[in-house]
Amino acid sequence: MASTWQRIQIVSQGILENGAVKITSAWQRIQIFYQWVLENGDKRTDPWLLVYSPIPVITIFLTYLVLLWVGPKLMKHREPVNLKAVLIVYNFSMVCLSAYMFYEFLVTSWLANYSLLCQPVDYSNSPLGMRMAKVCWWFFFSKVIELSDTMFFILRKKNSQLTFLHVYHHGTMIFNWWAGVKYVAGGQSFLIGVINSFVHIVMYLYYGLAALGPRVQRYLWWKRYLTSLQLLQFFILTIHTAYNLFTECDFPDSMNAVVFAYCLSLIVLFANFYYQSYLTQKAKKAKEM
């Protein structure tokens, strides 16, 4: 039986006819591939919001890029919008959502006796299988919500925050987890959810406290360690994914390969951010003294 990646290659090249591939036009190949994408997902998650087709997520992403381009231009001659109340509510709401997802990932995987080394996806309609699939969907949807971070930067004229790292991370996570919910809602994916949800509890707690104003901000000395925590999660996930990629495990190698490459890219980008934000700044201050 062909692997998932082999089937993707087949449908991207043509139609299987009597065991042989019949070459088609480029447009037909796109149609065939798109049909394959629609029909070969997890039937449990297909009816859920934004899951069945990639078109809604692509539309969200393109809208995001347009707002990134247009937003700063529209705000150029305007005063920054005061979003203090909005940011307080938003950040602490994200803390609550992240805490809920962390709990669900942790408890569901524990009750289902998940293995840290190799865990296939449970595609059944069992209570625990569905519970894991649902929290995977919430995790995906949280990445859509998090695109609001960028909009807040634009409205507050914090354009220096609109770095390549920020846009790359936010823009790609919605695609990564759309594919996760569409095809592998559970299994090894749970570890990403557990770790990232915990990191986001800490991260949005930091931003929520920072939104309260200068009286609280002076106590927020631990931003540097938040970046370190983010880097640590990517190292853990890279090692974990590499183990599953190079050992026998009933989890799609194509998904592991994507996660592995993605984590490596984030390690490079976050390490550069850490160096530029903390080590370089520290060296400059030392020279000025």
Q: Which amino acid makes up residue 19?
A: G
How far CA 286 is from CA of 77, 221, 224, 271, 279, in Å, comes to 37, 19, 18, 21, 11
Q: Rounded distance, CA 38 to CA 288, Å?
A: 59
Q: Which of 169, 170, 200, 240 is catalytic?
A: 169
Query: Does residue 169 carry a catalytic annotation?
Result: yes
The pair of three-digit structure tokens given for residue 170, joined into one six-digit string:
């936010």
At 280, the amino acid letter reads T
228-241 as b/e: b if 16+ CB within 10 A: eebbebbeebbebb
Q: Which of 236, 251, 262 is nearest to 175 (CA)?
A: 262
Q: Tokens standing for 31?
A: 């149609």
Rounded Cα distance between 136 and 180, Å, is 8
Helix 148-155 vs helix 164-183: angle between axes, to the nearest 10 degrees? Answer: 160
Helix axes 253-274, 223-245, angle to 10 degrees: 150
Q: Which residues pair with 15 in a beta bridge?
A: 22
Catalytic residues, by residue number, are: 169
